[in-house]
Amino acid sequence: MFKQQPILGIVVPCYNEEEVLELTVVELDAVLAGLEKEGLVSPESFILFVNDGSRDRTWPLIADLKERYRRVSGLNLAGNVGHQSALLGGLMTARRHADCLVSIDADLQDDVRVIRDMVLRYREGCDIVYGVRSSRQRDTWFKRTTAEGFYKVMEGLGLRIVNNHADYRLMSRRALDELSRFSEVNIFLRGMVPMLGYQTGIVYYERLERAAGESKYPLKKMISFALEGITSLSVKPIRMVTAAGFAVFAVSIVMAIYGIVSNLTGRAVSGWSSLIVSLWFIGGVQLLSIGLIGEYIGKIYREVKRRPLYIVERELPPAVRRRGEGA
C-alpha cells in the first residue's frame, strides 16, 4: 500500500500571490527534484497551484509557470472560496493522480525541507503526517495568546486538533479518499483530518516569515475562522445554553421560595414577590426551551453533515477461498 516510490503531489492554494509564486515554484520544484534524485518519490510527482479567485495576475502566472516547469499544474477556481475550500478543491482534484499529497501555503512560511521527512514517515506507513511548529517565537504576542486561547477552547470542547499545526501536512491517497466522504459544507480541515483516525506522524519545523506579499488572514478573518472551527465541529455550545437554562430554572425555584417566605413574613413590598418569582420563572423556562430547541437543531446539524459513521483502517480477508474462486 505504501509505495516505495510514491507519486507525490504538492497542493498550494493561492490568493493574490503574484509576488511570491516565482520563489515558491523554485523552492518546491527543487524539493521534488531532490526527492526524485534520491529515489524517494516517483518522477511523476507534481505541484498543483490552486488559484482561489485571485484579483491579481496569479492565474496567468500559474499558466506561465506550467509552460516553464514540467512538474507544475494548475487549477483555477471560478471565484474566491477561501483557503479551506480552495485547499479541499485542490486535494480532491490532485488525489486522482497521486499516492500522497502535501498541502502547503504559497508564501513559503512553512519550511519546505521537511517535506522530505513527511515522505519518509509516509514510507514508514503513516497515512497522515502533520507539520507542527516547534515554537511560536516569531509570532506577535497577540497571535500567540489568541492561538493558545483557541487551542484551550477546542480542548475544553473535547475536540481533537493538533496544536501548532496549520494546514501543512501530508495525506495518503486512502486518507484523502475517506476525507472525500465528509460531505459537509462548513469545513475546518484541521478538525476533520484527526477524525480519520489513521496512523499519524509528526514532523517539527520552524515557521518563517512570509517570503513576499502580505497575510491574507487579517484579524477579522482569523476570528471568523476560529468561530467556524468551533461551530462546525461541535454542538457543545448548544449544550451550554441548555445547561444555563437548567441553572436559571434552579435559581427561579430558590427565588420562588424566598419570595413566598418574605411575603408570608410580611417583609416584602407588596407585589414584589409575584413579580420577582415570575421574572425568574419565565427567564428559566425560556432559556430551557431555547436550549431544548437547540438540541434538536444540533441533531439536524449532525444529520445533514452525512459524515461517514466509520472508517476502515485495514481489512484482513479470510484465508479460505470463496466458492467458485480460482483453482
Please report, as ranges, the residues that interact with ligand UDP according to CB under 6 A. 13-15, 17, 52, 80, 82-83, 86, 105-107, 109, 215-217
Q: Which is nearer to Mg ion, 107 or 127 (CB)?
A: 107
Q: Compute the least distance from the CB of residue 320 to ligand UDP, in Å.
A: 51
Q: Compute the least distance from the CB of residue 298 to ligand UDP, in Å.
A: 29
Q: Which is nearer to ligand UDP, 194 or 213 (CB)?
A: 213
The site for Mg ion (CB under 5 A) is made up of 105, 107, 109
Residue 178, binding choice from ligand UDP, Mg ion, none, Cβ under 5 to 8 Å by partner class: none
Q: Residue with C-alpha cell 476533520?
A: 192
Give CA separation, 124 vs 1, 40, 95, 151, 173, in Å. Answer: 11, 12, 20, 29, 15
Q: Compute the least distance from the CB of residue 106 to Mg ion, in Å.
A: 8
Give CA separation, 148 vs 32, 145, 298, in Å. Answer: 34, 5, 27
What sign has the CA pseudo-torsion 211, 216, 219, 223?
negative
3-state secondary structure of 192: helix
Q: Could you tell me which residues are beta bridge partners of residue 128?
A: 171, 200
Q: Which is nearer to ligand UDP, 82 or 294 (CB)?
A: 82
Residue 7, binding choice from Mg ion, ligand UDP, none, Cβ under 5 to 8 Å by partner class: none
CA distance 102 to 9: 6
Q: Which is nearer to ligand UDP, 52 or 178 (CB)?
A: 52
Q: Which is nearer to Mg ion, 19 or 105 (CB)?
A: 105
Residue 13, binding choice from Mg ion, ligand UDP, none, Cβ under 5 to 8 Å by partner class: ligand UDP
Residue 82, binding choice from Mg ion, ligand UDP, none, Cβ under 5 to 8 Å by partner class: ligand UDP
3-state secondary structure of 76: strand
Q: Compute the least distance from the CB of residue 175 to Mg ion, in Å.
A: 24
Q: Compute the least distance from the CB of residue 131 to ligand UDP, in Å.
A: 13
User: Which of 96, 2, 104, 106 has the alpha carbon at shortest distance from 44?
Assistant: 96
CA distance 2 to 260: 73
Q: Which is nearer to ligand UDP, 209 or 303 (CB)?
A: 209
Q: Compute the least distance from the CB of residue 235 to ligand UDP, in Å.
A: 27
Cβ–Cβ < 8 Å for 277, 255? yes
CA distance 170 to 119: 8
